[in-house]
């Protein structure tokens, strides 16, 4: 297979294996397949920080455990980068995700589309394989609409896109409006603060609900 890691996201979107005659499901990782907030919380906990979730944010929910001082952006960026190198063991898979993807993959192509630092590629691919989600993975940066449009152009079947972040869902709605959009936020503490647009992007609380929605929207 083509070595996807040598390619830009746009090139990877053209090289990744997609069956032109079947539906296509494009899936995010963090807060969709992996409990990112919980994992990051565990990781920063070993560095003297704790998480108090009271807004839809990452670094702004992290405080020094002893002083109570908020995490500054520079330390946050460092911890974030280290997390992608060393923190794979802290990430728990979201319940039912692997089973739902396995069932769906019998009927459609599945592609993982994740925004992660490039240095996290190996750990991330290893994590997906270890947890039974060994699908082709594209690492993207920035809004996902353009690369989703490139992927969607490669099939005559229906296309679906799952993400936790509203800006990505809105970006796909703009770049590839024919793609069905689904939102999921695995962390129940974060969920109440999440920006949503349920009239435009379907919402699922868990993978049992998500699997039903995808079947309804993607299978003719
Ligand atoms: Mg995510």
Q: Quote the ligand 1 centre to 21 CA distance (angstroms).
A: 28
Q: How far is the CA of 1 from the centre of ligand 1 (A)?
A: 26
Ligand 1 centroid to 114 CA: how many Å? 7
> Residue 88's pLDDT band (boundaries 50, 70, 90)?
confident
Give me the half-sphere count of Cα atoms (radius 13 Å) on the Cβ side of residue 108.
27
pLDDT tens-digit series, residues 192-212:
999 999 999 999 999 999 999
Q: Above 60 in pLDDT, residue 2? A: no
Q: How far is the CA of 31 from the centre of ligand 1 (A)?
A: 5
Class of domain 4-35+92-218 as given by CATH = alpha beta
Q: Which tokens sit at 102?
A: 């396995």
Residue ranges matching CATH 3.40.50.1000 in the chain:
4-35+92-218
The mean pLDDT of 31-50, rounded to a whole number, is 96
Q: What distance lies between CA 144 and its chain's CA centroid?
A: 11
Task: Determine the distance separating the centroid of ligand 1 and the alpha carbon of 35, expressed in angstroms.
Answer: 9
pLDDT at residue 1 tops 70: no
What percent of the chain has pLDDT above 90?
Answer: 91
Q: How much is the pTM?
A: 0.95
pLDDT tens for each residue of 157-181: 999 999 999 999 999 999 999 999 9
Q: Residue 4's pLDDT is what?
A: 65
Helices (H), 119-197: 121-130, 145-152, 166-175
């Amino acid at each position: 297979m083509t070595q996807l890691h040598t390619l830009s996201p746009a090139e990877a979107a053209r090289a990744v294996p997609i069956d032109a005659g079947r539906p296509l499901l494009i899936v995010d990782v963090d807060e969709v397949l992996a409990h990112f907030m919980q994992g990051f919380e565990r990781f920063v906990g070993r560095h003297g920080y704790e998480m108090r979730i009271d807004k839809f944010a990452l670094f702004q929910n992290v405080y020094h455990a002893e002083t109570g001082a908020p995490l500054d952006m520079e330390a946050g960026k460092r911890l974030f980068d280290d997390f992608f190198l060393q923190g794979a063991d802290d990430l728990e898979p979201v319940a039912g995700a692997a089973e739902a993807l396995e069932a769906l993959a019998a009927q459609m192509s599945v592609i993982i589309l994740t925004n992660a630092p490039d240095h996290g590629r190996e750990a991330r691919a290893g994590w997906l394989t270890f947890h039974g989600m060994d699908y082709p993975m594209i690492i993207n940066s920035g809004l996902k609409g353009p690369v989703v449009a490139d992927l969607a152009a490669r099939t005559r079947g229906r296309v679906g896109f799952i993400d936790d972040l509203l800006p990505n869902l809105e970006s796909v709605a703009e770049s590839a409006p024919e793609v069905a959009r689904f939102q999921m936020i695995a962390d129940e503490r974060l969920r109440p603060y999440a920006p949503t647009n349920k009239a435009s992007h379907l919402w699922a609380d868990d993978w049992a609900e998500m699997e039903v929605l995808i079947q309804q929207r993607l299978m003719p």
